[in-house]
Structures are given as C-alpha cells and as structure tokens.
Amino acid sequence: MKEHETLEQRLGEQGVSRRAFLKFCAALATMMALPPSSAGAIAAALSQAKRPSVIWLSFQECTGCTESLTRSHSPTLESLIFDMISLDYHHTLQAASGHAAEQARDEAMKAFYGKYLLLVDGSIPLKDGGVYSTIAGRTNLDMLEEAAKGAAAIVAVGSCAAFGGLPNAQPNPTGAVAVSDIVRDKPIVNISGCPPIPSVITGVLAHYLTFGELPALDELGRPKAFYGETIHDRCYRRPFYDQGKFAKTFDDEGARNGWCLYELGCKGPTTHNACATTKWNGGAGFPIEAGHGCIGCSEPKFWDAGSFYTPLSAPAADVAAVAQVSMIAGAGAAVAMGALDRAKKQKLQQSREKLTVADLKGD
Amino acid sequence: MDAQELLIWVRGTGLQIAAAVFVLGMSYRMLHLLLIGRKKSLAEARGSEWAGGLRTMWQRNFVLPRLSPRGRFTFVAGYVFHLGFFVTLFFLSQHIALFRAVFGFGWPALPRGAIDISAVLALAAMVALLAHRLVDPVKRLLSDYQDYLTWALSFLPLLTGFMLLREIAFEYVTLLTLHIASVELLLIAAPFTNLAHMFSTFISRWYNGAVMGFKGIQT
Amino acid sequence: MSLQDIHIRVADAHTVGSLDAILNEIASRLHDFVDTGATSLIDLKSLPFSAEEYEGLRATLGRGEVTARLDSIGDSEIYETRFPGVWWVTHYNVEGDIVADLIEIASVPAIVHSQPEDIYVGLARLRQTLTSVRGEPVEP
Ligand code: SF4
Ligand code: SF4
C-alpha cells in the first residue's frame, strides 16, 4: 500500500480552487463547532495533512449510525472528508466481501500499524464466549482486541459502542459492553447518540485530520465541542420552562403554543448533545421543534431511565406499589403490637393481687 | 457509576427504599399511637371530648398574642417556614407532575413567581430559626442533636430544589440527583425522629383538647 | 392540507430573546471594526434560534446594496445588509443545504477576494490561452 498523499495535492488534482477550499474550511469550522475565524488555521493545517487510514468495525448494531452518516445532509462536504480519509475497511460500505474484505483489513492493519484510526459502531457481547455476534467466524471481542492494538486512536460511533446502548439495556441478554470496557490503553472518543448527529461524526474526523489529535473530551469521553452543553441549555423552549409553562398533553393548548415539554418526559435537562444548535436533516430541526421531548439518546443507560414519557421529576420505577405494600405491612405490625400491648396489660391486671387489710398491716 | 446511573438509581431503587421506610414507619407509628388508646373513662364527661379536641386543633393556630416575644418569633418564623414549604411542595408544577405520576391525579399549579417567593420565604425563615436557636440561651439549652439533624434534613431539599430551578453551581443532572437524594433522606429519617410530627401533631393537639374538654365529671 | 393548515402558533416568551443578544453582539463588533479595523465572524449555526427569531434577524438586518454569488462546490450567497460593513454569508452545498451561515463584519467578505493561489493558476491558464490563440509563446 502506498503512502497517502497530502490533501492539498489531492484537491489540486481534482481542480478544486483555493476559494472553494476556503469555503470548505469555513463549513468545517462550523461543523467542528470552532470559532469561524479558525477557518484560516484549518486551511493551513489541512493543506499539509496526510490522509489517514481508517478501519471501521461494525459489531452488535443496527447500521443506524452508518445510515446517519451516509444520509447526512451535506453529501459533498462529507464526501470531501471521506475523500480525505482512506476508508480501508467497512463491511457495509466497501465493495469487496468475504475473504477479500477480511484480507483488505489485514493488509491495512499491517501497512499502517500504529497509525490508523479505528472506528467502531455497535456494542460487544461477552456472554457465552461472545457467540452472539461474530464476523467471518470470529467474535467481536477477538476482532476488536486485535484491531485496537495497532490503532492510533479509537472512535466509538453511537451510543452502543460508546456506552453499550440498546443491547446493554436491562436485562442485557448478550452481556453487551462498550468499547471502553474492553480497550483501556488507547485514546477513545465517544460519539454517542442513537444515532449520533452525522456532522458530529465527520466533525471529529475533520478535527483529527486537521490537527492530528483528538478533540478535548468530557469525563465520558465525548468531544466537549458537541457535548459540552445540554439540550435544555440551548433549547428555544427554555423561556417557557423558566416561566413554568408546560404542555400537559401532546395536543393541548400548551402544546399548540409551543410550551416546554418537561412534563411530557423531555430529558433535555440531563442530556448532553448538539441537537439544539447543529440540528438534524440538513438543519431542518430537532425533535423538540417537532413537538416531542428529548429521550436522552446520547447519555449512558438512557433505555433504563424509566419511560420516555415520564417527567424527570417523577419516579423511574413503580413507587406506588411499594408504598401500598409498606402501608399494609406497617398497619399490620401496628395492629399486632397493639394486640400484644393489650394482652400484656390484661395479664398484668390479672396477676395483680388484691390488696387486703392484712397486707397493709404488714404481717 | 456515572452521573446518569446515579440519577436513575435515586429516581428508581433509591426512591422505592425511601418510600418503603417512610410509609411503613409512619403507618406503624401513627396506627400504634391510636391503638394504645386510653382507658375507657367510666365517668360521664361534663364537657365534650370531641368539641374540645377539634377546637384545640383549630385554636392552636392563633396563640400569637398570648406568647412572649421569644415565643412570638419562633411562632411566626415557624409558620412562614411551614407555609412556604407546603406551597412549594404542593404547588410547583414539577412536583404536581410527580404526584400525578404516583397517585394518578393532580391539581393546578401556582405560577413560578409565587413558588419562588414561597421558597425564598421558607429558606429565610429556616435560617432565622437556626440563628435564633443558636443565639438564644434558653433555646440552645433545649436543643439536642436531633433538632439540628431535622433542621438540616428539612433545609436541604429546599436549598437543592432552589438551586436546581436556577442551575446554580452544578449541572442539572447533579442538582436533580442531590435534590431527590435529600428528599429521600428526609423520608427515611421521618419515622424515627421528631419529623414524625408531620402527622402526629394534630393527633396530639386533639388529645390535649379532649383532655381539657373533659372538664370533670357530670354531676 | 399543507403545513400552514395545522394551526400552531408559537407564543412569544422571549422577554430578552436571542435576537436582542445577537443584534447587540453585531453592534459591538461593528463598533470594534470602526475603531480598530478588526474584522470578525459570527457563526449563526451555533446559536439556538427558533425559526421565528431567525426570520426576525433577516428582517431586521434587511438587504443593502451589494449582492455576490459564489459558485464553487455548491452556491454561496453573500450580501451586504442594511448596515454597511455587516455582511450575511451563506454557503450551500451542491444539494442546496446550508453548510455554513455567517455574519461577517468587514468592508468586503474575505471569501470574495481573489486568492493569490488562484490568481497564479489563472495567470498560467491565461498565458496558455494566449499561446493557443496566437500559436506562439508570450514573453512574461
Ligand atoms: S422542552 Fe425540554 S429541553 Fe426544552 S426547555 Fe423544556 S425541558 Fe428543557
Ligand atoms: S433531542 Fe435528545 S433524544 Fe433527540 S436526538 Fe437529540 S439527544 Fe437524542
């Protein structure tokens, strides 16, 4: 495999003008959530950047994350970025299949050992020796451990790879875990979301490409530029929350007025993601704009946090039943104790001997 | 355990434990209290126990003019705290959403402005009461560790709730977790401390009134 | 039935909304530009606008005298607003989606300037054109 040429060479070959390149860099700055004035610095860095080799492994997943990426709203921009990386293995997107595909992966891993970027979507099942998800007869665990060894960094795409996601939800029948539960000695970026916002995936790739390093991460390994604030922090319905104006059903007056969706179960206050500003479907909007609360898809364990329609202030488990049982138990105990008291009293009364004149006399 | 898992726990298992301890402890204590009962009086009362009991339950709310200055302060601050606490507890929209989820019914909320005022009043009254307790020699002498414990247990939910609505100092996840956890502590401690007065206060008022209402034997 | 037939009003909750904030920001940057000549950019996609506020911003800034169109990897629309020195720069991709939406404070937006690299390539092309027209090389 030949060394990859720099991006400037490639763009030059394609007849892309400098102005077009600057426009592209302006779009990248927006995508990476960097200040727009950084477009110049991005351009300078990108002209020198070499195309990194990328290996993409898909484990226990629904292909939603790849769908999100390939259906992303700005195909030319994404494809330009994809042009900028050399995607050497992705079993859904690549043309090769079977042994040829596995061979391509082996070759890329050898040729770029220590330098390639490893993208993973899907969780890794560990139960029963990992039999619940295998590729070419090998378990996901086996494949991940092998590929992680030679990776410069790992990008966990989607909530399944980042936190375990749906497969990991109670009762977790396959023993699914996140990438970070297995690989501990490599830098890992978690791009959570179910699916993650496509331009956040490409934004992180672009950042790695531009600066040759991973972006700043929060304590859950998510890039701060996109996950630094909650949906609630940047929600346009926020003034209604602050005024205490809530929609109570999906079709009441409040809902029609666009009031806050907190009482309809919105998890925006506890969810870190860029939906409220980056938005979905080419900037068309995000779920709250469509009148549905946030379900918290970019946070760990969001499937186990109670109903999507239970307000954050309400219990995530059945408290009423517990209270009823306790009430009966408490009342029962009180009655039993009361009876015991009464019995004791009676006994005491019976055992009391009548006072006689003789007693008083003391003989 | 990360922040989300902690929140899930306090909203789920933690709350179930707290509710179980609270309901079990309280129902036991209250029912037991009633069952202990009093020995049936064989003499006919001159007055009426029921009238006396009910009258006292009501009249104890209006003893202000008959109190010493120290008593007056405690009385007023105490009432401000209790009123503010209950208005905040029962009329904040988010709380009503909780009651609706647990009991299946709700009621209209007060506007946020009114809640803000009631919460601030309750907080201020609590701080004043604590200061008074520490400064006043008689009250200080009368206080034991349980008084300070129950003060803190009642103060924390108010404080964390106030901070939560404004996202002061911490993130929403953290503040919500703290707020719920502080309420759970209060629920768990209630049956074992003088916080149990939240139910027994009217029973004991009735009892006092009833005793006074007895007014000797009918002749 | 079209979207307009569904009766959804968005009540105005914004006592101090995002619109006020962004207009203030623009004013203070324009002031800096007058004072020091420092140009600057605001990324509109990073701000939590509702559709109404966005339209409100468009209406308030209005359109000035100059409009430019850039045609490279999709369109770009560049125009001066009612306020000289305040430009609205919108980059589209080939499919017509917005990929960057910026307010630029400058006398001319940077992207409009011809780039030295492109001028250099263009000069070479011009020379080549001349060669093929005249059939002989032109002295530099
Ligand atoms: S709709 Fe959700 S995110 Fe928006 S203000 Fe209400 S609770 Fe917060
Ligand atoms: S609004 Fe919430 S649930 Fe919806 S995509 Fe964004 S983070 Fe996920």
Q: Are residues A223 and A243 in the same domain?
A: no
A265 lines ligand 2 (CB under 6 A): no
Handedness of CA A305, A311, A312, A315 (dihedral sign): negative
Residue range(s) defining the domain that contains residue B81: 3-22+66-199
Task: Mark the ranges of chain B whose per-residue pLDDT is less than 70.
Answer: 37-47, 213-219
pLDDT for residue C16 is more than 50 = no
Rounded to an integer, the average pLDDT of A87-108 is: 78
Which residues in chain C are contacts of A258 at CB distance < 8 A? Answer: 8-11
- Number of residues written out for chain B: 219
Distance between CA atoms of residues B13 and B15, nearest Å: 5
**Is residue B140 included in any domain, yes or no?**
yes
CATH label of the domain that carries residue A298: 4.10.480.10
Reply yes or no on whether the pLDDT at C15 is more than 50. Answer: no
Cα-Cα-Cα-Cα dihedral sign, residues B202, B204, B208, B213: positive
Number of domains in chain A: 3
Contact B19 A326 (CB under 8 A): yes
Q: What is the CATH number of the domain that holds B132?
A: 1.20.950.20
Tell me how far apart the terminal alpha carbons of chain A are, to the nearest angstrom: 119
Tokens of A142: 């086996």
Residue A349 domain boundaries: 321-361
pLDDT at residue C63 greater than cutoff 80: yes
Q: How far apart are CA A345 and CA A342, in angstroms?
A: 5
Among chain A residues, the shortest Cα distance to C71 is held by: A20
Residues 6+ apart with CB under 8 A from C8: A256, A258
Closest CA to C52 of B105, A329, A237: A237
d(CA A12, CA C117): 11
The protein residue with its alpha carbon nearest to ligand 2, atom 2, reads: A294
Task: Examine residue A112 and state whether it is found in any structural domain, yes or no.
Answer: yes
- For the cut 60, the answer to whether the pLDDT of residue A317 exceeds it is yes
B204 assigned to some structural domain: no
Residue C80's closest CA among C68, C97, C92?
Answer: C68
A274-304 pLDDT per residue, tens: 999 888 876 778 999 999 999 999 999 999 9
Nearest to B93 among A244, A301, A320 (CB): A244
Q: Dump pLDDT digits (tens) for B43-60.
A: 666 667 777 777 777 777
Least confident of A77-81, B136-140, B191-195, C19-23: A77-81
Q: Is the pLDDT of residue A139 over 90?
A: yes
Residues of chain C contacting residue A273, judged by C-beta atoms under 8 Å apart: none
Query: Among residues A199, A227, A255, which one ends one of the domains?
Result: A227
Q: Is B218 domain-assigned?
A: no
Regarding whether A127 and A76 lie in a shared domain, the answer is yes
Q: Which superfamily does CATH assign the domain made up of C3-108 to? A: HupH hydrogenase expression protein, C-terminal domain (3.30.1370.140)
- Considering its fold, how many domains does chain B have in total? 1
By the 10 Å C-beta count (0-12 exposed, 13-18 middle, 19+ buried), B103 is classed as exposed
Domain ranges of chain C: 3-108, 114-140
Residue A148 has pLDDT above 80, yes or no: yes
Last residue of a domain, one of A164, A195, A227: A227
Q: Are residues A221 and A242 in the same domain?
A: no
Q: Does A336 touch chain B (CB under 8 A)?
A: no
In a domain, B103, yes or no: yes
ipTM of the complex: 0.84
Higher pLDDT, B77 or A100: B77
| pTM metric for this prediction | 0.82
